[in-house]
Homo-oligomer: A and B are copies of this chain.
Amino acid sequence: MPLKNTNIVSAAHTKFGVLEGVTLREMFSEAVDKVTVNAGIPKKDIQAAFIGSFIPEMLIHQGHTAPLLVDYAGLRGLPATRHEAACASGATALRAGIMAIESRLYDTVLVVGAEKMTSVSTNKATEALAAAADDQFESSIGLTFPGVFALAAVAHMHKYGTTEEDMARVAVKAHKNASTNPLAQFQKEITLEKAMTPRYIAWPLKLYDCSPISDGAAALVLTSNEKAKKYTDLPVKIIGTGQASASMNLCARSDLTTFSASVEASRQAYKMAGLKPKDMDFAVVHDCFTIAEIIASEDIGFFKPGEGAKAVRDGVTALDGDRPINPMGGLKGVGHPVG
């Protein structure tokens, strides 16, 4: 049955990119100000905050981030909880916000994802990001995240004939889609030739196949049906949600060309909403690497397994195509502050 009571009434984010000298708490506060007072929602209406942040412990030696951040944002005393699920941290915070509204414990809540990543060197950030993989069995012996997705890319190339050029086309599309967004980290279109520049990060992934290391914060205000009318005539209703997990240990996965958690989570969301992939106008998926977007477009049922690359090649996933994917530019174009 579709969710009945949860509405998005405001959304905002900061500039994404290398925000020199801007701290996590400052980015968070900016996103909160934009999503509340700047949108006509008084801060005092906010009853709780659910905050996604992946790895501030290693990047800025700061845990216990939720109270710290709401205090700095002028919301001292607010019940505030941090959610950590690597790249899905913000998504798990959103799900907590949904449950908070649906359970009627709260009427109006804030959901924020925030990460400060450029305070450390690329090596240190890569080491921190590797904490999202299985340390005991994989990352401790050198498997970084570009490595994880390079293995997925090789498997997809081997099984379905996907090429490096197909992946490069995802990057070209992302930069094009992001180019008109002044908050995006990358605002310049790139040519296919440039995207194919053989500066390999982890073969077959090249520089332009990788989303950047970014600072940034994004925020939503969720509220109940009764309160939604107070803030907007056009609330965005959340009618379906899903969540699943999988083995983090790649050795325990039977197929590297699909992510079972994405398949299952999207299946749950479709089922709850009472809709099918063909009913969707567009999708926003996780494109930390270009191959991840191709795989996700198959996992969510937009295309059959192995046909995601062809869809990119044929322009089907372009902004003006039949099934746009990441029309705003994705993590690849807009930036990827993990939380």
Q: Write the residues of chain A forming the contact surface with B, with a CB cutoff of 8 angstroms.
A: 23, 25, 48, 54-55, 57-58, 60-68, 70-71, 76-86, 92, 95-96, 98-105, 128, 130-136, 139-140, 243-249, 252, 260-261, 264-265
Contact = CB atoms under 8 A, between A and B. Distances in A.
Given A58-B57, A247-B76, A83 B81 contact: yes
A102 B55 CA distance: 30
A23 to B, nearest CB: 7
12 contacts: A54-B64, A66-B85, A68-B134, A71-B247, A77-B245, A78-B245, A81-B92, A81-B243, A82-B84, A96-B96, A96-B99, A102-B104
Contact of A103 (B60, B64, B80, B103): B103
Given A57-B57, A105-B102, A244-B77, A64 B264 contact: no
B100 A245 contact: no
Contacts of A95: 81
A129 to B, nearest CB: 9
A64 B79 contact: no
A43 to B, nearest CB: 14
Contacts of A139: 61
Given A57-B55, A136-B23, A64 B84 contact: yes
A83 B85 contact: no
A131 B57 contact: yes
Contacts of A67: 85, 245-248, 261
A60 B135 CA distance: 8
Contacts of A84: 63-66, 82-84
A24 B132 CA distance: 15
Contacts of A76: 245-247
B86 A83 contact: no
Nearest to A25: B136
Contact of A85 (B64, B77, B85): B64
Contacts of A55: 57, 63
Contact of A131 (B63, B128, B140): B63
Contact of A244 (B64, B79, B83): B79
A61 B135 contact: yes
B63 A245 contact: no
